[in-house]
Every structure is written in C-alpha cells, then in structure tokens.
Structure 1
Amino acid sequence: MITKAERELTFAGYTNYFLWLEQARLGSALKRKAAQGCRVRFLLGDPDSELTRSREQDEDVALTLSTRIRVTLSELEKIRSWPGIDARYSDGHTHLSVFRFDDDMIVTPLLTHRVGHDAPTLHLRRHQDDGMFDRFASHVEELWTRGTPVWEGEADGQA
C-alpha cells in the first residue's frame, strides 16, 4: 500500500516500530514518496511521557514501548530534513493505531494487556463521505492538530 499511495501516507501508531522491521528500505521509499508530492506523517507516543510508562507496565514485555518509539525516532532522524515528511507526538491514540494510504486505511484497536500484534486489524477503504473511513481519518486529523512537533521549531520536515 505504501508503494501505491500518491497523496497521503499517515502512520499513527503509538510506536510505528514494526514498519522499520517489515518494510525494507522504508526511509528511502518515504523520501521518494515525499519527492513525488505525497504527504508523509508520523504520529507517535512520547517515549518519556507518563502515559508511555503506564502502558509499559500494562504490556510488561522486554522490548518496551519507549525503546520501540526511540527506534522509530532514530529512523526518522535520518529523513527529517526531507520536505513533506513530518512527525508529531500524541497521547490520544495510545490504544488505537491508524495507518492511512490515500483511500485505504489499516485500523488496529489495541486490547488491554496486549501488544499491537495481538490485536484485531481492520482494512478500510473510502467509499462514501462520513463513513467509517472518514471518521477515523477525522480522528487522526484532530490528534495531528493537537500533537506536538517531534523536532522543535520545525513543521513539514523543514529545518
């Protein structure tokens, strides 16, 4: 879905960690997409927040949320200066991941005391105005608006 997207790629997972493991050369692919005019956004949890620490206690796994978030931050650091790529922190999606690829969307509602890969996954396609797709998209837009830039003083990937 990443390769087919032309307008929008939004990764609103609390860590987005698995993306870097599952998608070979993801950073290069995202830079290519941004160069072609595709908006690329990451919405992450803050690795130092109280909410993250609380969720780490819930999950009780060796590879902590804060570590997984920091892996994503490290990968994003390599592409942060690329125009069209942006990242923000949000605590509003701690139990819901939404990944948007133009008019396709993967939604994962996280279950208590479970890690993301143990949760159900929904594949949505945009077929109508104000349907389920638009409602999740609207939710992510609200979180994005309220989010805090990962890189102080920067917006839209520009230093």
Structure 2
Amino acid sequence: MNERLRRSMHRAGHDIASLAEAVGVSSKSVERWLTGSAPYPRTRFKVAALVGMDEGYLWPDSVDGASLAGAEIVSIYPRRNDVPGDLWTDLLRSTERNVDLLAFAGLFLTEEHSEWLPTLARKADGDVRVRLLLGDPDGIQLAARDTEYRICGGVAGRVSAVLSYYKNDMPDSVEIRLHDTPLYNSIYRFDDDIVINTHAYGLLAAYTPTMHIRRMDGAYFNTYLESFERVWGASRAVERDAR
C-alpha cells in the first residue's frame, strides 16, 4: 500500500474516482498506484501537482537517489511570519504518532492559532506522543537571549506564559521539559513533517528563515530529529500540579 499517496489524496480532498477523473485515467489505474505501482513520469508529475506533494515523496523508488535529499524540502520562507497561518494546525490535525516541539517559548502557536491548544489536547488524549521542550526560565540561555534582544526578562516571561497554557490545558500524557541549551533553530515536528525556524543573532525568531521539510531519505529530517533527541536527553521534567 502506498500510504503516502493515500494520505496525500485524503488531505487534498480526492478519492479514487475524483483523482482518476482529474488525471484522465481509469479508477483501476489509481487503485494500482495505491497498491504499489508507479505511474509513468508525466503522470507522476500531474498526480503530485493535484495532491500538492513532490513526486519523489509519493514514489521515492522511482526517483533517482541524488535528488531525494533536495526533495525533502517542501518550502522555504524568508521569515517565520511568512509561513501560511493554517500550516501549523493542518500539520497538527494530520499527525498520528508524534508531535515534538523545541523552542525557547513558541508562544505564537498558543496566542495566534486558536485551534492549537484544543487540537493538541485531543491528539494527546489519543495515541499521539506529545513532547514539548521549552527554555528554562532559571537557565543561563534565556538570560543571554534577553541581552541579545535587549529586553529585560522578556523571554523568560514568554516562557512562563506558554508554560501556564500547557500545564493547565494539556492532559497529563503531554511530556513537558525545560532545556538550557543555545538554540540554533527551533524545531516543530509532526510525524514525517518538520518545520525548522532558524535563528540569527539579534533577530526575533518571527523574522528569520523557516523551512518545511518532509522525510524521505532522511538527509535533512534526521539531522534535526537527532538534535531534538540530544536536547531532550539533557533536559529536566516540569512538575505538573496535582489535579
């Protein structure tokens, strides 16, 4: 089963019949693609465009290996503020296994996206493992970031605000930890999709380049996932209030 194609069709609002009609093939052809066959190159390109995915993601065995790493990059935005607003919640809604967040605060998710907290809570109540890594208000890195941004205590205040959201609105299954590491980028992982918000000295994260990556051969994706795991291993758990 080509699970990537099936999920991409679902996200794009296509079933077998509608995709077949849009491409100009029989429903049986689409069924064969779903069970493992790959269409001809010209048809692959058309299908990929219709479902909004790269053909190398849908049929990695049909694309030469040298191009797979580049195909992992879905989009690059000059600033995080340029990321389409619905991308964050769309990725969250489609997540079935893992949500991993590494940032100093990531307050924009809770304050600018009204569906973020309730959707995250529903996912955590299901089978999705949710891990949140936020900056330690008592650590040296947040103090250094305050100096960098020339704001007195502002970053720690943002962390305290977002912690109150997650501690009060999330089920106990959500794992929250604090880190005291110098972040070179913030990481937002949703199953096989990961959004990387790069950091640049003296600039707020909202104004720095951001990449949307989708795992294929893992050349990009696995680098950031390993970074997340290293910080997770060096972090400390947040004490949750008794309920």
The TM-score, its normalising length taken from structure 1, stands at 0.87
Answering whether residue 215 of structure 2 is matched by residue 126 of structure 1, we say yes
Aligned to 1:28: 118
Answering whether residue 221 of structure 2 is matched by residue 139 of structure 1, we say no
What are the within-5 Å matches in structure 2 for residues 2-151 of structure 1?
2-61=92-151, 64-80=154-170, 82-129=171-218, 131-151=219-239
Q: Deviations over 1:65-119 (max 9, x none)?
A: 1111011111011135x24301111122523100000000000120000110111
Does the 8 Å contact 1:37/1:84 carry over to 2? no
Larger relative contact order, structure 1 or 2 (CA cutoff 8 Å, min sep 6): 1
Does the 8 Å contact 1:47/1:70 carry over to 2? yes
> CA separation of 1:7/1:41 partners in 2, compared to 1, >3 Å: closer, same or farther?
same
Q: SS where residue 78 of structure 1 aligns?
A: helix
| Percentage of pairs with the same residue | 25
Q: Which has the higher strand share?
A: 1
Q: Which has the higher helix share?
A: 2
In 1, Cα distance between equivalents of 2:212 and 2:119: 22
> CA separation of 1:99/1:53 partners in 2, compared to 1, >3 Å: closer, same or farther?
same
In 2, Cα distance between equivalents of 1:85 and 1:105: 19
Q: SS where residue 224 of structure 2 aligns?
A: helix
Does the 8 Å contact 1:35/1:83 carry over to 2? no
User: Where does the alignment leave 5 or more consecutive residues of structure 2 unmatched?
Assistant: 1-90
In 2, Cα distance between equivalents of 1:9 and 1:33: 9
Structure 1 letter corresponding to 2:221: F
Q: Deviations over 1:2-46 (max 9, x none)?
A: 111110111111111111112214322112101221011110111
In 2, Cα distance between equivalents of 1:99 and 1:68: 18
User: Where does the alignment leave 5 or more consecutive residues of structure 1 unmatched?
Assistant: none
Does the 8 Å contact 2:177/2:232 carry over to 1? yes
In 1, Cα distance between equivalents of 2:109 and 2:153: 15
| 1:53, distance to aligned residue in structure 2 (A) | 1.0
- Once superposed, what is the RMSD of the aligned Cα atoms? 2.1
Structure 2 letter corresponding to 1:6: E
Does the 8 Å contact 2:143/2:153 carry over to 1? no
The TM-score, its normalising length taken from structure 2, stands at 0.58
Q: Which has the larger radius of gyration?
A: 2
